[in-house]
Amino acid sequence: MSVPILLWWIGSHTTTFVPPMGEVLRKMPEFLSEEDIWPDVLLTVQRVAGSLMIALSLGFGAAYVMHKGGLWGRVVDRYVGLMLGIPSTIAALLSLYIFKRSELGVYFVVSIVTFPFVALTLLQGLRAADRRLDEMGDVYRLPTSQHARHISAPHLVPYTFAAIRNEYAHAWKVVVLAELFAVNSGMGARFARAFDRFRIDDAMLWLIIFMIILLATEYLLLLPSERRALRWRGSGKEALL
Amino acid sequence: MIAESVTPPRQITGERRQRIQAFAVAWLLALGVWQITTFISGGWVPSLWRIFEALGEDATTANIYAEMWITLRRIFISFGAATAIGIGLGVAMGLSRRVTAFFRPIVVMGLAVPDIVYIIVAILVLGTDESSGLIAMVLALVPFVVNIVIGGVKSRDPGLDEMSSVYRLQRHRYLVDVVGWQVSPALLAATRTCFAFSWKLVVLVEALSQPRGIGAQVYYSFRLLRPDHMIAQALLFIVVLRIVEAIMFGPLERKLLGWMQ
Amino acid sequence: MSRTAEYIRIVGLNVSYDGITPAVSNLDMQVAEGDFVAVLGPSGCGKSTLLHAISGVVLPQSGIIEIAGQPVGTGRGDQSVPIGYVFQEHRLLPWRTVAQNIAIVLRAAGISDEEIDLRIDRYLEMLHISEYRDTWPLRLSGGQRQRVSIARALAIQPAVVLMDEPFSTLDEVTARVMRQQLAELWQESGQTLVFVTHSIREALFLANRIFILTRGPASVFDVVDVPVARPRRYEDPQLTELEAQIVEHVMDEWGYGQPRAGDDDA
């Protein structure tokens, strides 16, 4: 924990740009109580959550079709492969053209960029399905709905968490990008404005808020849910990094 | 031990036919949807034909290749540095719990920080020359490499570690012969990922800060409201880079992972 | 109650996984209702395939499989002939508790909710694992997991219980206890049991009749009756005698050549 702080300290003393830590931290409470920062924060959070949900649905659908195979399986496979390779900047600029400056554009960019990764992870999960449990389900003549609910779905839970974790962080990055290029609201836009106006301390503060939200979601939301969903495994098996 | 059954020749060409079919359907569908979008947006989104023309114009000017070369150079420098640093750090962390504990928070935060932030901060601190962009890229890429490499190192067979200590293997022999080969798939995966991210990242860096490079060109086309050129240049770039990726990693993968078959 | 002599009736069974290499070839087998039979064969001879075919998981190329006069259904949700199956590895859903694991299978068999609870209690009791009702499988030992697997199989009160080398992964002491208790369980319940094993001693201890299979592809090489009174002891000299006879009998068939004089393969 000490290293980044150390780096900041060094940075602030060697250049005139980076403001000393104390000053920035002092501005924090004032900054946080400024009412107009919260709508932007909320907006960005909303966008991330919404796009992630879309990405999860699309990703699951894609993984399912890819796993089934056949003509559509291969077609979707190609699309996913293609979309993995689009630089998010280009996707952002493109969506700007298609959706102009609307909210939809942001959701579009973030979902399109993240869903292929979700699909890949879930596909791995589908492929790793335990044939032996499937067979047990067949022997006991489990109807398809029960089979899906008790055997197929729980198997995918760890993979879903992995996908969520990775793509959540990814989604944040893309959303900032999208907000920077495409719309005038949200944290990304505020951050860019701070940069434009050379308000470095503001930029730093936005960065800190960003960090806090990220760490908070990881430790307060993701890890506990994961632990709870996977408690049948015994302890110590959650993702490490 | 499953008895191998001989595949009749007709089955093999059937497989090929399916792949071509899928290829055709995928492309026709995609192009069709694009044309519809063009139509719906009333010409705002450039038509396929327009893009094709722009492609023709751009591909025949020498300018674009000079820009591409600049971009490629930047990709290779940052990708190289990030891979080297990432592997070094990743292996060190994977082998020792103390090192992991020390660097963990940085790596976690590093993974979470949006690339833009690195770029902006780098520019603020170091000014606007090329080096700040490159440093920003390296900073953004290293955490990914480290993450993958740590995964590979930590999942090595502890039995082999035990064997190494029983037979008193020297440190560097241990690293190369025992750890190295076990970790090679992870190293390869890390390198591939790093490269893949680096060329996507460079577009962003160039769009924001540099006067030259493909990313900058794409951004200019965007700014000048020339979507046809923007898309054409982006396409050229993506195609070239995928080819480079295939050339770099195809044979390498076969060579390094042959022992696993 | 009159017992059907041909409760399980298998005639001319041919099973092949890929359509080319047969795993079971021209196999005939009849099992009386309520009987405890063993299927004995060397590794890889196709005895598991036989069970797969009987349970309806694999479709045979040709031949008849009937249980209680009905052909075995193969669709999901088809409960015409309920089958209980105990696998070699427990195949319990690790993310559901013991009780839930049994409940899932009971529900699929169309049993009502109140009845489900009653059966869970009853069969967990029968297998001496009532205290683990709400435990997760991964917290149980191998022997306990197999007990759950057996309880699950018995709870649906199937037409037949198929067991595929269920004790082969357990340590010897646990396995002995399980065999003992299985024999007692059978005597109480009168369930028709088909038990696959590669251990001659195990087959002799547990079953009334042993179907000895040939080396792959499997067909029935011989049928041996075990006229030893119950309760049996694992070390009973009668069993040892029978074992020696069987070993000599199958040596050639299973491809191990003539035994030297005085060689006892215990």
Using one digit for the tens of pLDDT, what is the confidence trace for B18-31? 778 888 888 888 88
Q: Do A144 and C136 touch (CB under 8 A)?
A: no
Probe site for chain B from C18, C43, C45, C49 (most B CB atoms < 10 A): C18
List chains touching C (3+ CB pairs under 8 A): A, B
Residue C35: pLDDT band with limits 50, 70, 90: very high
Residue B213 has pLDDT above 70, yes or no: yes
Which among A23-32, B192-201, C29-38, C52-61 has the top mean pLDDT? C29-38
Work out the pLDDT band at B75, boundaries 50, 70, 90.
Answer: very high
Please provide the DSSP assignment of A168-235 as one string: HHHHHHHHHHHHHHT-S-SHHHHHHHHHHTT-HHHHHHHHHHHHHHHHHIIIIIIHHHHHHHTGGG-S
A93 and B219: CB-CB below 8 Å?
yes
Identify which has the larger pLDDT, A230 or B138.
B138
Beta pairing partners, C161: C84, C193
DSSP A113-153: HHHHHHHHHHHHHHHT--HHHHHHHHHTT--HHHHIIIIIH
Please judge whether A154 and C93 are an interchain contact, meaning their C-beta atoms are less than 8 angstroms apart. yes
HEC string for C157-198: CCCEEEEECCCCCCCHHHHHHHHHHHHHHHHHHCCCEEEEEC
pLDDT at C133: 94
CA angle A42, A45, A51 (to 5 degrees): 135
Average of per-residue pLDDT across B172-200: 84
Q: Residue C11: beta bridge partners? A: C64
- Which residues in chain A are closer than 8 Å to B203, comparing Cβ atoms? 87, 89-90
Q: What pLDDT, on the 0 to 100 scale, is given for residue B138?
A: 92
Indicate if the pLDDT at residue B6 is higher than 50: no
Q: What is the pLDDT of residues C186-201, one digit of tens each?
A: 998 888 999 999 899 9
* pLDDT score, position B5: 39
Q: How distant is the Cα of A143 from the closest Cα of chain B, in angstroms? A: 30
**Residues of chain C neighbouring A232 (CB-CB closer than 8 A):** 94-96, 136-138
Q: pTM of the full predicted structure?
A: 0.73
| Chain B CA closest to residue A167 | B112
By C-alpha distance, the chain B residue nearest C18 is B5
The pLDDT value recorded for residue C173 is: 93
| Average pLDDT in chain C | 86
> What are residue C30's DSSP bridge partners?
C9
Please indicate whether, in this complex, the C-beta atoms of B112 and A180 are within 8 angstroms of each other: no
Contact state of C138 with A154 under an 8 Å Cβ cutoff: no
- β-pairing, C36-40 vs C209-213, is parallel
In A, residues 18-77, which contact C (CB 8 Å cutoff)? none
Single-letter residue type at B13: T
- Mean of the pLDDT values across residues B98-110? 79
pLDDT at B108: 75
Cα separation, C45 vs C41, in Å, equals 6
Characterize B158-188 residue by residue with b for buried, 16 or more Cβ atoms within 10 angstroms of its Cβ, and e for exposed: eeebeebeeeeeeeeebeeebbeebbeebbb
Residues of A whose CB is below 8 A from B120: 191, 195, 203
* Cβ-based contacts of A240 with chain B (< 8 Å): 154
Higher-scoring residue by pLDDT: C233, A94: C233
Q: Give the DSSP letter string of B84-112.
A: HHHHHHHHHHHH-HHHHHHHHHHHHHHHH
Q: What is the mean pLDDT of residues B165-189?
A: 81
Neighbours of A (≥3 Cβ pairs closer than 8 A)?
Answer: B, C
Q: What is the pLDDT of residue C107?
A: 87
- Specify the pLDDT at position C153: 92
- φ, ψ for residue A18, nearest 5 deg: -75, 120
Which pLDDT value is given to residue A7? 57
Burial classification of residue C261, based on how many CB atoms lie within 10 Å of its CB (0-12 exposed, 13-18 middle, 19 or more buried): exposed
Give the model's pLDDT for residue C116: 93
Interface of B with A in 16-75 (CB under 8 A): 18-19, 21-23, 25-26, 29-30, 37, 41, 44-45
Of A11-25, B185-199, C119-133, the one with minimum mean pLDDT is: A11-25
Contact B141, B194 (CB under 8 A): yes
Q: Output the pLDDT for position B31.
A: 87
Q: Taking residues B222-240, what's their average pLDDT?
A: 85
- H/E/C letters for each residue in B131-195? HHHHHHHHHHHHHHHHHHHHHHHHCCCHHHHHHHHHCCCCHHHHHHHHHHHHHHHHHHHHHHHHH
Show residues of chain A in contact with B111, CB under 8 Å.
169
Distance of CA B129 to the CA centre of its chain: 24
| Mean pLDDT calculated for residue range B130-146 | 89
Mutation test of the interface with chain C: which of A133, A135, A141, choosing the one with the most C Cβ atoms within 10 A?
A: A141
Q: Would the pLDDT of C15 be above 80?
A: yes
At C60, list the tokens.
């045979």
Q: Tell whether the model's pLDDT for residue C43 goes beyond 80.
A: no
Q: How far is B160 from chain C (nearest CA, A)?
A: 27
The answer to whether A186 touches A179, Cβ cutoff 8 Å, is yes
Average pLDDT over every residue of C58-77 = 80
Residue B261 pLDDT:
46
Low pLDDT (below 50) residues in chain A: 1, 14, 16-17, 236-241
Question: Residue C17 has what DSSP assignment?
Answer: S
Q: Please judge whether A142 and C139 are an interchain contact, meaning their C-beta atoms are less than 8 angstroms apart.
A: no
Arithmetic mean of pLDDT over chain B = 81
